Structure 1
Amino acid sequence: MAKLKHVLLLIESSRAYGRDCLLGVADYLRAHGGWHVLNIERGLSEQLPKAIARWKGDGVLARIENARIAAAIQAFGVPTVDLRGSYPPPGGAIFDSDHAAIGQMAAEHFLDVGFTKLAFCGFPGVGFSEQRGAAFCEHLSARDIKTHVYEPQNQRLMPTDVLGWEARGEFEGATIASWLKGLPRPLAVFACNDIRGRQVIEACHQFGIAVPDEVAVVGVDDDEVICELSSPPLSSIRPNAQKLGFEGAAMLDGLMRGKKPPAAPILVPPAGISRRLSSDALAIKDTDVAAAIRFIREHACEGIGVPTLLQKLPLSRSSLERRFKVAVGRTPTAEIERVRMERAKLLLAETNNSLKNVARLTGYGTASQFATAFKRYAEMTPGQFRERNGRQSD
C-alpha cells in the first residue's frame, strides 16, 4: 500500500472564497485519497503559528497573502501550489481566478440590461482589484463607453493590503456618496469585491441615493453572508473557487509525484452572476421594451417566442423589433436565447442535471435540440462547457 502524503493546507476559512477552495480540495480527496492533511484554521493574512515551523511533510497547498508567509512556506522545501497569485512559490505552481474575465463579465452584465453610465469602485494598489477594474474599463472603452473610477482621498495614507482597505472603506461613506452624486444616473457600479460592494450600497443608503433605481451595484465573490447583510442584498459574480481548489489539489498531487510545474499561472474563469436586488434595474427609457425584457427574464425558459411577447404588448412585430434593437442592440429573439443560455450555463456549472433535464428547464424540446443551440451560442458543446466550468464531483 502506497504511503500517505502529508500535505499542509494554509487557506483561510474566514471568507467564502477560501472555504470554497477548501471544498474543492475535499472533492479531490474524496475522489483520489492518498493524503494526510493538516489544515490550519486561519483568517485572511493571519500570522502562522510558530509551531508550524517544525512541520515535516510532502507538499503545501496555500493562498499566500504576504512575503512573510511566502518565506515560511519556502523554508519547508517541498512542492507548493498557490491559489492566490501574488507570491509565486519557487518551483511550484500558481492558480488564480481569471480577474480579467470577471471584469468583462461585470461589463457585459450591465450592458445587457441597458446601462450606458458605468463606474468602478475598487482598492487602489491591490492586485486583484486593479486587474478587475482595468478589464472592466477596457471592455467598455472598446464599446466607446467611458468608465468613472473612484479615487480615494488622502492617497499618501493608502493601505497596502486588502484588510487595510476594507477597514478604511467602512469610513469612506461620505466620500463615496459625494463621488456618486457627481456622476450621471441611472448608474451601474462594479465593486472589486463584496465588501466594497456593501460599502457602496451603505454609502447610498446613508446619503439618500436609491439602490438599484438610481445606482445599481455588483460585487465579486458571492459571499452569501456579506451579500445578504447588504440592504438591498448585493448581486455578485461567482468565482469558481471550488474548481480552483480541486485543480490546485490535482496539480500538487502531480508535483509530489515528480511532475514539472507549468510555466505560467493557470487562470479559472468565473462561474456566473448571482443576481440579487442591488442590480435588479433596467436602465431603458422605452417602457414597452423594458416591459418586454422583464417578461423575457421571467418566462424565457418556458419556451416562449416573439408571438407570446406581442400578446402582452400594444406593438406590432416590426415596431417591437425596431425599438428593441435601438434600446439594447439586439432582437427580441436574441434576448430570449441569451436568457435561456445564461440559465443553461448556470445549470451546467452548478448542478449535475442531465442534458435532457437542462433542455427541459431552459425551454428546449429535446437534449439534441438544446445541444445544437448551445454549441451555436457558446461555440462549444455542453459537455465541454461543464468540464471547463462545472463543480467537481467524486
Structure 2
Amino acid sequence: MTRQQSAQRTHRIALLFNANKVYDREIITGIGKYLLSTRVAWDLFLEEDFRARLNGIEHFEGDGIIADFDDPAVRDALADCPLPVVAVGSSYEDASQYPDNLPYIATDNRKLVTLAYTHLIGAGLQRFALYSLPESPTNRWAQERELAFNALLAADGLTGDVHRGLPTSAPVWNQASEQLTAWLQSLPKPVGVIAVTDARARQLLQMCLISGIAVPEEVAIIGIDNDPLTRSLTRIPLSSVIQGTEEMGRTAAHLLHQMLGGARFAGRRILVPPVGINVLESTRHQPVSSPYVMRARHYIRQYGCQGIKTEQVADYVGVSRSSLEEHFRRELGCTVHQEILKHKLEVAKQLLAQPDLSSTEVAIRCGFTSLQYMYAVFRRELGCTPREYHERLQGTQTSQPG
C-alpha cells in the first residue's frame, strides 16, 4: 500500500456516548468539527438514538474507539480492547481513578467549580451551598465537584452545605421535591448555590418559584453545562458555567487520529478548562433590605414580559401600590414600572443575540405594547435601535477569533 493510499484510507470509529446529555452531545460535536477541519476520513459508528450500548462491542470490527469513561460499564467493557481507545470523562483528585494504559481527556472539575464560586463571590455573596447528586459509581464526577467545592471553602475559612438529594425518578419525585424545598428553606440567606449540572439547577429554580423564595435576591443559582434545553424550561434565565466539551472532543479526535498512524499515548492525561460563564438573571444578585422589593422583583422576573402592571405586582406582594413605590424609590431609586421595563429590556437584549428572531417577534415575546415602543425604549436606554443592537452583536461575534 502506498503512502497516498494509506492516507486516504477510511477508518471505522465507534463513539460510545449517551447524547441524551448535553455534555456528551457537545463532545461528539467537537469530534465532528475536528473531522470537518481536517482531511481525516472516518466512518463513525453511533447507535441510531446516539446512546452507547455495550452488548457486542467486543465484536466491533473497526479501527478505534472514543468513549465516555464516566460510565464504569464502558470502562470495564473496554478494559481488554485491542483497538486504539481514547477515554473521555471527569477529572479526579485521586490519580489512581484514571486508566493507566489509555490517553484520557478530562473536564477540569476543580476549575469548573472555582469559576462558579468566584462568580458568586463577585455577585456579593458570602454564603454558599452545593446541590449535587446521590453517591454512586456513575456519579463519581459529581462527588469530585463536591471535593472541589469543599476545598475552595476550606481555603477561605468557610463552610458550605452540600445536598445530594434523590434521583429524579417518577416514584420519588414528590419526596425529592419536598426534601429539596426543605433544604432551600433551611439555608441562611442570601446564599449562592452551585448545582453540579443545569438539570439540578433547574430543579432548584423550580422549587424556589413554588416556595416563593426570591431568585437571585435570596438564593442565587448557577449550574454547569450551559444547556439550551434547560434554559428554555425556566422562567428565570439560568446562569451556567460553559464546559470546554467541544475542545475535549476535538482533542480526543486528534489523539485518536495520531494513534491510528502508530503514535502511543498510554497514560497521557489532558485536563480541559471551562470556556467561561453565561451570566443570566439567576445570579444577578443585588442585595436589598426590603422583603417587599425582594418579592416584587421575584414576581417581575417571572411575569415581567406578560404585560403585568404595577397594581398586579403590589397585589402579589400584599401591600398598596403607593407603599410599594416608596420601597422601590428607597431601595432601587426607581419606580415599579421602570423595573418592569428594565426586565423587558434585558430579555429583549438576550433574544436579539439569536440570529433567527425578528424585532417584531422580540417585541411580542417581551410584552412591549408595540414595536415602536420597543424602539423608543432602546433609543432612550441604549442609544440605538433593536436592529442596530443586533447588528452590533453579530459584528462582535464575527470578529472574535475561532
TM-score (norm 1): 0.65
* Sequence identity (%): 26
Q: Any conservation in 2 of the 1:228–1:234 contact (CA below 8 Å)?
A: no
Which residue in 2 is equivalent to 1:25? 31
1:354-373 equivalences under 5 Å are none
Equivalent-residue separation in structure 2 for 1:136 and 1:80 (angstroms): 31
Q: Secondary structure at the match of 2:89?
A: coil
Which residue in 1 is equivalent to 2:159? 146
Equivalent-residue separation in structure 2 for 1:179 and 1:248 (angstroms): 40
Which residue, 220, 239, 243 being the options, matches 1:216?
220
| Cα-to-partner distance string for 1:276-298 (whole Å, 9 max, x where unaligned) | 2222222477x99999xxx9xx9
Q: Shift of residue 167 of structure 1?
A: 3.1
Q: Which runs of 5+ in 2 are unaligned?
A: 92-96, 290-328, 334-341, 347-392
Q: Shift of residue 85 of structure 1?
A: 4.1
Query: Are the structure 2 counterparts of residues 43 and 77 from structure 1 closer, same or farther at C-alpha, using a change threshold of 3 Å?
Result: same
Matched, 1:132 2:145: yes
Which residue in 1 is equivalent to 2:19? 13
Which residue in 1 is equivalent to 2:62? 57
**What letter matches 2:399 in structure 1?**
N
Equivalent-residue separation in structure 2 for 1:255 and 1:123 (angstroms): 36
Equivalent-residue separation in structure 2 for 1:148 and 1:264 (angstroms): 35
Equivalent-residue separation in structure 2 for 1:134 and 1:89 (angstroms): 20
Give the number of equivalent residue pairs. Answer: 290
Moved more, 138-147 or 115-124: 138-147
**What letter matches 1:222 in structure 2?**
N
1:1-394 equivalences under 5 Å are 1-2=5-6, 3-41=9-47, 47-48=53-54, 50=56, 52-74=57-79, 76-85=81-90, 91-125=101-135, 126-150=139-163, 152=165, 165-167=167-169, 170-171=173-174, 172-283=176-287, 353=399
Q: Secondary structure at the match of 1:232?
A: coil
Which residue in 1 is equivalent to 2:322? none
Equivalent-residue separation in structure 1 for 2:66 and 2:148 (angstroms): 28
Query: Are the structure 2 counterparts of residues 184 and 67 from structure 1 closer, same or farther at C-alpha, using a change threshold of 3 Å?
Result: closer
Q: Any conservation in 1 of the 2:46–2:52 contact (CA below 8 Å)?
A: no
Q: Secondary structure at the match of 2:226?
A: coil
Query: Are the structure 2 counterparts of residues 231 and 42 from structure 1 closer, same or farther at C-alpha, using a change threshold of 3 Å?
Result: farther
Equivalent-residue separation in structure 2 for 1:141 and 1:42 (angstroms): 46
Q: Secondary structure at the match of 1:213?
A: coil
Moved more, 259-268 or 245-254: 259-268
**What letter matches 1:99 in structure 2?**
N
**What letter matches 2:89 in structure 1?**
R
Q: Which runs of 5+ in 1 are unaligned?
A: 153-157, 159-164, 299-346, 355-385, 387-392
Equivalent-residue separation in structure 1 for 2:252 and 2:288 (angstroms): 43
Q: Shift of residue 247 of structure 1?
A: 0.5
Query: Are the structure 2 counterparts of residues 42 and 12 from structure 1 closer, same or farther at C-alpha, using a change threshold of 3 Å?
Result: farther
TM-score (norm 2): 0.64
| Cα-to-partner distance string for 1:47-80 (whole Å, 9 max, x where unaligned) | 3354x54321111011134343334334541010
| Cα-to-partner distance string for 1:175-203 (whole Å, 9 max, x where unaligned) | 11111211211111100111111111112
Q: Shift of residue 246 of structure 1?
A: 0.2
Equivalent-residue separation in structure 2 for 1:144 and 1:42 (angstroms): 50
Q: Any conservation in 2 of the 1:13–1:41 contact (CA below 8 Å)?
A: no
Equivalent-residue separation in structure 2 for 1:75 and 1:263 (angstroms): 15
Equivalent-residue separation in structure 2 for 1:12 and 1:127 (angstroms): 16
Query: Are the structure 2 counterparts of residues 140 and 66 from structure 1 closer, same or farther at C-alpha, using a change threshold of 3 Å?
Result: closer
Equivalent-residue separation in structure 2 for 1:115 and 1:150 (angstroms): 19
Q: Which has the larger radius of gyration?
A: 2
Query: Are the structure 2 counterparts of residues 214 and 56 from structure 1 closer, same or farther at C-alpha, using a change threshold of 3 Å?
Result: same
Equivalent-residue separation in structure 2 for 1:181 and 1:202 (angstroms): 13
Q: Shift of residue 27 of structure 1?
A: 1.5
Q: Secondary structure at the match of 2:286?
A: coil
| Cα-to-partner distance string for 1:199-238 (whole Å, 9 max, x where unaligned) | 1111212222122221111110111101221231221111
Query: Are the structure 2 counterparts of residues 34 and 89 from structure 1 closer, same or farther at C-alpha, using a change threshold of 3 Å?
Result: farther
Query: Are the structure 2 counterparts of residues 215 and 77 from structure 1 closer, same or farther at C-alpha, using a change threshold of 3 Å?
Result: same
Q: Shift of residue 121 of structure 1?
A: 0.9
